[in-house]
Amino acid sequence: MVDLISQALEMERKKVLDTCISMGILRKGEYEESFKGKYIDQFGCDSFVNYMSYLIPFLCDNKFKNSVFLTFNKKILKDRDKLQKRFKLKIKSLEEMKK
């Protein structure tokens, strides 16, 4: 069962990253060079790939223009200014959204 879940997550990661490359969001190999393993959360998930999966509809459809990426991941929150400047999608913690 764990293997099936791991395979599904890997397929989804690849799909998201391939879409980002085809849209010109990331250069080929950029994920591996700059982002892979950098934003792993406490559950072992890659928050950068999750951020990219929110970014795709944000860039493609005006109805998502007010979207925000919510995360508990302290690593991605620490680098949010850099990521928001490049990708334009806001990143917030749940605590910030409650205010």
Residue 67 pLDDT greater than 70, yes or no: yes
pLDDT tier, 4 (very low <50, low <70, confident <90, very high otherwise): confident
| Number of folded domains that form the chain | 1
Q: Which domain holds residue 72?
A: 2-98
Question: Is residue 58 within 8 Å of 67, Cβ to Cβ?
Answer: yes
C-alpha to C-alpha distance for 43 and 1, rounded to whole angstroms:
17
C-alpha to C-alpha distance for 89 and 91, rounded to whole angstroms:
7
Confidence (pTM): 0.90
